[in-house]
Amino acid sequence: MVYVFLADGFEEIEALTPVDLLRRAGVEVKTVSIYPDRKNVTGARGVGVMADITIGDADTGKADIIVLPGGMPGTVNLLECKTLMDMVDSQNERGKRIAAICAAPARILGSKGLLRGKTATCYPGLEDLMDGATPVIKTVVTDGNITTSRGLGTAVDFACELITLLCGKEKSDEIRSSVVA
């Protein structure tokens, strides 16, 4: 199970590209509204999305990957959700996978100290917020249980990396080819 968490102001492509490509690969994916009383979430460009479930229904103990999209103020809204941050901490403590793209690696994982000693990437200009990480300029980086990516333009690479981690390189290459990426 992969959970993609959504907060008002999320970057639509960074959230929905992984959902789409992971589902094409046969992975069970749930979009999760961080708001306990509503599934409707509005992206940074005004695109409304009806999440599959709300945060109260997310059982991250069963999550293979927690995905944190970027976007502003979406990233800040994710960070301010205590329930989600507790889930992220628990996922990390269990050594389970966490994936973040754009501002989320720096603003969320960096601020929580989850990148210390790891190689990571993020949206250009936010590298100083990745506390203790070795920042690199790559489209996607996996170091241990953490996968990071730079932004909207790297969303397909990010999604394909998650497919590789869950289903293998052959399936990832098949999906990449099928969408002409």
Contacts of 83 (CB under 8 A, 6+ apart): 34, 36, 55
- Verify whether residue 102 is a known catalytic residue: yes
Identify any residues that bridge with 120 across adjacent strands, giving them in sequence order: 135
> According to DSSP H, which parts of 25-168 are helical?
74-79, 82-93, 104, 155-167
Catalytic residue among 81, 102, 122, 160: 102
CA-to-CA dists, residue 152 to 31, 76, 81, 86, 134, angstroms:
18, 17, 23, 26, 21
> According to DSSP H, which parts of 50-143 are helical?
74-79, 82-93, 104
In the numeric block, the tokens 């979430």 are attached to 41
- For the annotated catalytic residues, the residue numbers are 102
